[in-house]
Every structure is written in structure tokens, then in C-alpha cells.
Homo-oligomer: A and B are copies of this chain.
Amino acid sequence: MKKFFLTCLQTILVVVALAQSKEEAAIQQIFNEALGRGKAYELLSDLCTNIGPRLSGSPGAAAAVEWSRHVMKDLAFDSVWLQPVMVPHWVRGQKETGRLISRKQGTLLLNVCALGGSVATGPAGVVAGVVEVKSFEELKALGSAGVKGKIVFFNRPMDATKIQTFTAYGGAVEQRANGASEAARLGAVAALVRSMGSNLEDYPHTGSMRYAANVPKIPALAISTKHAELLSRVLKEEKEVQVYLENHSVTLEDAPSFNVVGEIRGSEYANEIIVVGGHLDSWDLGQGAHDDGAGCVQAIEVLRLFKQMGYKPKRTIRAVMFMNEENGLRGGAAYARQAELQRALRDGVQPQVHIAAIESDRGGFVPRGFTVPTDAAAKAKVRSWKPLLEPYGLTDFSTEGGGADIGPLASQGVHLLGLLPDSQRYFNYHHTAEDTIDKVDKRELELGAASMAALVYLIDQFGLK
């Protein structure tokens, strides 16, 4: 009897060992393929150099939609389709002008750019005195008396001592998002916002801003961090300086566009869907290489890797290129609406359920882990895979939640996850003319794609319950 138990135990151990090595082998194969013969970098180079910037509503965005559809068809995914969505259509217009007019130093050019959504100064520009603030509290303390007729200069830097640069960004970005309306409430004529950058740089960072209801819309521009320092220094020395700002942005009517979806159908549970995605639109200044061309090509690469390995997923795996993350999130909302409709049985069509969505929208940098679901059981399950993922440098499973585009799926109980790359260099390039393909390291991009594929593989094998 003892011998029988021992034999049972041995059998169990062997089975466990084999089961273990099956997943280890699959993940090894994913990384070998991605690093040895990966396509992510080649795809991203193509997208960046042959299409480049692709803000919602722009010709570049339309070309990027066709590019994605074409690429996924060429890779012979089971289905590839477009999902229509109306998007905001903001156009920067001719290059902005910024000038600092100092009594002591004469006129100095300032590197500025309009924030996305800003109204124009028009050809006459805006010229006014400048008041510098570091917070909305400081602004309010000044009151209309201190602000009326002025340009408000929001100059709170990203906190360099935060280890995670996204934390520093979160602590400063309200100036960009809401600064203009907060200033306009007190009678300001324009808002000039220190760029959301980690370092002292020559180039400005754009990004979305929004106007509050029932407040005058005033032009909102970003200034490079170096010139923010310059302006602040001159203000301290001279107290009164004038700044001239000119931009020609315009918001046109909403434009038609698309999310682009490609899928490999599941072999066992075809109606259970795992989404892996990034956003296809980018700001207009660079090539949208890290933000978020990287996420798009990584999502495509996940499906390509599975096909290349001959892996037949149990569930349906979908690569989604979301449109309009940068200034509206319309693509994410449209995708979630469709997903909601498909949860119900209609016209004899089998309902579909999304079990997980994983976004890569933190740049194509070396991966350090994943953001994990907020649901305790799902979170514990993802963390239980840590031993399988640690050999690939994936050790950080501490942050909850996914990306912006998949956010609207949360109300359907979909587990949201994200790729978590190292954040140190992200805000060197984010929303700038510097976000170009030469800033992306091939191996780092490939490791990110392989990491996403490994996670999708594990969710496909074991679910998240």
C-alpha cells in the first residue's frame, strides 16, 4: 500500500513537472521567436517612416488604418475588420510662435506648441504680461486682480525625485489639462504650460487639454522645459515682461475613422475573447513611435508569434488598434459598445464575452512586469505566474489597472491588464517631435511583444478565475 502511494505520488510529481515544463517551453519558444526572428521592429519602422504622425482625423490616421488592415491580412489572421467611429478633428495649423519681450534682453524666441484642442490666437497673436504660478491654489490666491489681461504661466515641474515617471506626470498634468480654463475664469488671455518632460529640453510637449463649460476659451500652449526655466528666471529679474504667442489651431467637424481589429479564432472557446491592443492614433509632432506605435506592433506581433509557433489558442485572441486615445478616447468607447451588444444572444448568433484586455501604451521600453486586474482572484492568478515570467525580467506586478482604451470595458467585468515597461525614458519623448523610430531599441520592443504574448498565452491556457 505504501508502495502504491509512492507510485501515485511519483506519477503526480511527474505530471506536475511535465505540466510545468509545457508552459516553460511555450514561453521560451515565444521569446526565442520574438528575439531571434521577430517582426515588431520592422513593422514599427515601416509605420513610423512611411506613415509617421497620425492624429485622429488626419490623412496619416487614415493611412495608418489601411496599413494595419493590410499588415494583419498579410499575416493571414482569421479575420481582419474595421470598426467605424467618429473622431474629433483638431488641426494644429502653421507652426506656432513664442517670443519673450524683455527690457534688458530684447526679444527672445520661445519654443512653444499649441496644446491639442486649443483655440487659436489668430494671426494677430496675443501679447500680454505674464504671471507665473506653480499651482491652482497660487492662481486662485492671485484672484482676478492679479490675472486679468495676463498670460498665466503654469510652471510646476514634474517631480524628478519620483522613481516612476508616470507618478511625476500625474502630479503635473492637471496644469496642461485644465490650466487654460482655470486661468480664464480669472480673466487671463492665454495659458502657457511648462512641458510635461522629465528633463531640461529644447522642444515642447503637446497633449490634450479641455475647456470647462461656460468659461471663455483662451489659447493654451506648451513651452519647452528649458524655456520655462528661462522665462521664470527673466520674470524673477525683471518682474514685468511681455510674451507674444501665436497659434493657428482649429477644431473641424468630427471625422469618420476606425478601430482596426484582427483575430485568431479560439479552438475550444471561440466566444471567449482576449484583447491585446494599443492605440493607432498619435500626436502630430513626431512619428508616434513609443506612443503608441510600439503598442500596436506588439499587439500584432502577439498574434503573429502564435501563428508562427503553431500555437492554436483555446480562446479567440484579438489584436485591436484603437483610434483616438490621445484626444477623445472615442475608439475605446466604440469598441466597448460593440462588445456590450455582442454579449447578448441576437438573431441566433452566439454571444461573445471578453475575459481579459491587455494594453501596451507606456512605450516600447524594456518590460519590467504587468499591471494586474483589480479583482482579487484574477490578480492572485496573474501573480501566481510570476515564477514563469521572472526569468524574462518580469518582476513587477504591483500596479493595478490597464490602459485608457480598454478602460470602457471595465463595466462589463472584463479583467484589465497592461504591459509595464521601464518608465525612465518615456517622458523624454512623449508627445514631442522626438518620438521617432530611432528612440526605440529593437530588443526592448521585442521583449515587450514577447512578454505580452506570454501573458496572453497563460490567460488563454488557464483563464483568470
Contact = CB atoms under 8 A, between A and B. Distances in A.
Interface of A: 31-32, 35-36, 160-161, 163, 165, 198-199, 366, 368, 391-393, 395-396, 422, 424-425, 428, 441-444, 447
A329 B396 CA distance: 37
Contact of A424 (B395, B428, B441): B441
A65 B250 CA distance: 58
A45 to B, nearest CB: 12
29 contacts: A31-B161, A31-B163, A32-B161, A35-B160, A35-B161, A36-B161, A160-B443, A163-B393, A163-B447, A165-B443, A198-B442, A199-B442, A199-B443, A366-B366, A366-B422, A366-B424, A368-B393, A393-B396, A393-B422, A395-B395, A395-B396, A422-B422, A424-B441, A424-B443, A424-B447, A425-B441, A425-B443, A425-B444, A428-B441
Contacts of A443: 160, 165, 198-199, 424-425
Nearest to A446: B160
- Going nearest first, the 8 A-B pairs with the smallest beta carbon separation are A32-B161, A424-B443, A35-B160, A395-B395, A35-B161, A36-B161, A366-B424, A36-B160
Interface centre among A32, A442, A447 (most CB of B within 10 A): A442
Contacts of A31: 161, 163
Nearest to A425: B441
A392 B163 CA distance: 6
A160 to B, nearest CB: 5
A236 to B, nearest CB: 19
A391 B424 contact: no
A445 to B, nearest CB: 10
A388 to B, nearest CB: 13
A391 to B, nearest CB: 7
Nearest to A163: B392
A395 B428 CA distance: 24
Nearest to A41: B199
Contacts of A447: 163, 424
A418 to B, nearest CB: 17
Contacts of A36: 160-161
A160 B395 CA distance: 21
Interface centre among A32, A35, A424 (most CB of B within 10 A): A424
Nearest to A33: B161
Given A366-B422, A393-B422, A395-B395, 10 more contacts: A31-B161, A32-B161, A35-B160, A36-B161, A160-B443, A163-B447, A165-B443, A393-B396, A424-B447, A425-B443
Nearest to A29: B161
Contacts of A160: 35-36, 443
Nearest to A391: B163
Interface centre among A199, A393, A441 (most CB of B within 10 A): A393
Contacts of A368: 393
